[in-house]
Structure formats: C-alpha cells, structure tokens
C-alpha cells in the first residue's frame, strides 16, 4: 500500500461584483518563512475558492512568497484587483512534502488547480450559513 502525498492547491480567486477584496486576512508573521491565512470570511471569493484558515501562501502569481515581507505580499495580492493566483498548503502538508524531499514550489510539488467562482451563487450562500 503506497502512502498518499499531499497536493498543493493552485487557487485562482476572482473578485466579485459588489464585494470589495478577496475575503481573507493574512497573519503578519515574522517575515521569515511563509505568511499564513489568519481568517477566511464566509460568502466571499476566497471561501468559494477553497482558501482555508492556516493555509500557507507559498506563491503569489507564480512568484515565491517565502521570506517576503507582509507589506510586499499584500501589494502583490492587490496588484491585480480582478484576480489573484495563490499556491497554498496547510503546514502539515508542507512538512510532509519537505520530509519526502520536495522543494516547496509549483515546479516541484504535486498540485491541483481550483478556479474560484466569478460571482456568488446558491452554494456559496449555503456554505456561508453553515460557517455561521
């Protein structure tokens, strides 16, 4: 029986009409390592795209976010107000991949792609109610 290898998520978060921002908050951290998602607001583009609390932001628009200052990360995320691409891993997934010899980037890690909705729909409303 082979062990399962975690996959990073390459998430495209699209801005919604009448909803400023993407709907998540980053932990400022220390400027070393990767910045972590502190909070994901329900019924937002980030929630609909599957962003999770404690996700580590590995890459922003195919550029490494490792050891990048918080302010620079926020600027990169806001650079395109319509959409942002994030490579995300939970801390345990990152540790597992590193223990198996993977470099933590989109060229080396196994990953799958998630394209967020371009507007809220009935499923995002149901998820928001469940989250409350």
Question: Hey, what long-range contacts does 94-97 have (CB within 8 A, 24 or more apart)?
Answer: 94/34, 94/56, 94/58, 96/5, 96/6, 97/5, 97/6, 97/8
Digits of tens for pLDDT over the chain (132 positions)? 457 889 999 999 999 988 788 999 999 887 789 999 999 999 899 999 999 999 999 999 999 999 999 999 999 999 988 999 999 999 999 999 999 999 999 999 999 888 876 666 665 454 444 444
The structural domains of the chain, with segments of one domain joined by +, span 8-131
- CATH architecture for the domain at 8-131: Roll (2.30)
pLDDT at 9: 95
Predicted pLDDT at 31: 73
């Amino acid at each position: 029986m082979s062990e399962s290898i975690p996959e990073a998520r390459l998430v495209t978060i699209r801005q919604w009409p009448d909803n400023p921002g993407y709907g998540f908050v980053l932990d400022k951290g220390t400027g070393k390592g990767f910045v972590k998602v502190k909070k994901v607001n329900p019924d937002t583009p980030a929630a609909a795209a599957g962003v999770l609390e404690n996700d580590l932001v590995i890459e922003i628009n195919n550029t490494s976010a490792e050891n990048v200052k918080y302010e620079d990360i926020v600027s990169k995320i806001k650079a395109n107000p319509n959409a942002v691409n994030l490579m995300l891993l939970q801390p345990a997934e990152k540790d597992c991949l590193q223990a198996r010899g993977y470099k933590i980037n989109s060229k080396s890690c196994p990953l799958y792609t998630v394209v967020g909705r371009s507007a809220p729909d009935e499923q995002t409303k149901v998820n928001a109610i469940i989250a409350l």
